[in-house]
A and B are shown apart, each in its own frame.
Chain A
Amino acid sequence: MKKFQLGEFEEIVLLTVGVLYNEAYGVAIKEEIQTRLKRKVSVGALQSALRRMEKKGYLESRTGPADKKRGGKPKRFFTITAYGKEALQHSRDVRVDLWNSIPKVALDLKIV
Chain B
Amino acid sequence: MHADAFDRFHEAESRLHRLDPRVKVVVTVLFILSNALLPDGAWAAFGLSWIVLLWANHLSSLGVDFSFRRSFIALPFALAAVSAIFSPLGVPLGDWSIGPLTLIPTDYGLIKFGSIILRSWLSVQAAILLVATTRFPDMIHAFEHLRVPAVLTTIVSFLYRYMFVLTDEVMRLLRARQSRSGSVAGLKSGRSVAWRARVTGNMAGQLFLRSYERSDRIYNAMLARGYTGQLRTLHAHVMQSSDWFFTALSIVIILLLQFTGRI
Is chain B found bound to chain A in the same assembly? no
- Where the two chains meet, the residues of B that have a C-beta atom closer than 8 Å to any C-beta of A are none
